[in-house]
Amino acid sequence: MRKPKPTRTAPTDAALILRLEGTDYQMKRVGRDWLIRKPDGTTYAVARTRSGVACDCPRARYTAEPLRCKHIVALESVGIVDG
């Protein structure tokens, strides 16, 4: 008698790679938000807020006007977040 094949389970931890300006960022979903990590370990969070999508990178945080940084623009361009 043959033994049944083991069933495959869905991965519990997955990551995406996003290439921006020649740099590969590793992306990981955390709840409704995304963590984007550069190869040097620098990590930014892209989150959905009541007022839209926000990123905690320096360019988005420290400009006087509301800014859609390259991280948000990239995630919008591949359909991961809505702008």
* Domain range list for the chain: 16-77
What is the band of 43 on the pLDDT scale with cuts at 50, 70, 90? Answer: very high
Mean pLDDT of 36-50: 92
Contact partners, residue 67, CB within 8 Å, separation at least 6: 59, 60
The confidence score (pLDDT) of residue 66 equals 64
Average pLDDT taken over every residue of the chain:
83
What is the band of 24 on the pLDDT scale with cuts at 50, 70, 90? Answer: very high
Strand partners, 58: none
The confidence score (pLDDT) of residue 12 equals 60
Tally of CA atoms within 13 A in the half-sphere of 64 that contains its CB: 0
pLDDT higher than threshold 70 for residue 54: yes
Token representation of residue 72: 């948000």
